[in-house]
Structures are given as structure tokens and as C-alpha cells.
Amino acid sequence: MVDTGFTGFLTVTPSLALEPRLPFEGTARATLADDGETTFPYYGVAVLWDGQTRYVEADAADTTPLVGMRLLEGHSLYVEVGDGRRVVIRAHDYRLNKTSKMVLSTVKLGPPNWTNQEPLS
């Protein structure tokens, strides 16, 4: 799920963060939409994003996994509203004034050294 109000890269459930033994990076504090505050651990992850491996931080939270605005930086977001509709993300190559299109269906992630193993879906 994409959350345009989430300024981080990615959230994952605590069990998903612990399953592949993602490296613990630290603890952070956030202000929630209801103005409440929470603290949460975050982990280093390798994400297969638009055909490239990116190393980002994933916040562990008891919520649906979210794609945040830092991961979407340099992209356009198009949402077809309704059940079963598409979310289209276009990556911009500003040097060539081009875009590439990616339909968001699965973000693969794993620990930063995941190249020797199958990433999680």
C-alpha cells in the first residue's frame, strides 16, 4: 500500500523484519495522523525497486506494509481508485527527460546481503 502521508521509505510488520534477520539500525519516533506519538525500530533492507536494488530503511510497525514518499522520490504516482484497480509508478530520468513505467504489484525485500538468497515477496 502507498501512503502519501508517510515520509519514510517503507514499513514492514515486526515479524517480517525479524524473519529474514534484517539488521537492526536503530529506534525512531514519529507523529501519527491522529497527532499521537510512537517509537519504532527500523532495519536496513535491500529492496528490488524498478528493476534495481536499493538499500533503504524499513520501519517495523504493526500495520499493513507501506511504501512511503522517500521511496517514491523521483517518481510520479497514478492511482485508479477502486477495488482491484492499478497503482502505476513512473520513474523519471531527468537527465534524458524520460520516464519508465512500473505497475506496483510486489516489492521484493531482503537483508542487505540478499544477493546469495531468494528475496522475500
Low-confidence ranges of the chain (pLDDT < 70): 93-121
For 4, 11, 40, 73, 84, the CA distances from 8, given in Å and listed in that order, are 10, 8, 12, 10, 26
All three cell numbers of 83, joined, read: 477495488
Q: Cα–Cα distance between 57 and 114 in angstroms, integer?
A: 15
Does any domain span residue 118? no
Has residue 57 been placed in a domain?
A: yes
pLDDT for 113: 57
- CA 99/CA 56 separation, integer angstroms: 22
pLDDT digits over 60-76, tens only? 998 888 999 999 988 88
Quote the number of domains for the chain.
1
In-domain check, residue 97: yes
Asked whether the whole model's pTM tops 0.85, one would answer no
Query: Residue 3 domain-assigned?
Result: no
- Count CB atoms within 10 A of the CB of residue 91: 17
Residue with cell 515479524: 15
Query: Does the residue 120 lie in any domain?
Result: no
Residue 102 lies in a domain: yes
* Residue-number span of the structural domain to which 46 is assigned: 10-111
Q: Which residue bears the cell 506519538?
A: 37
Residue 107 lies in a domain: yes
Residue 96 lies in a domain: yes
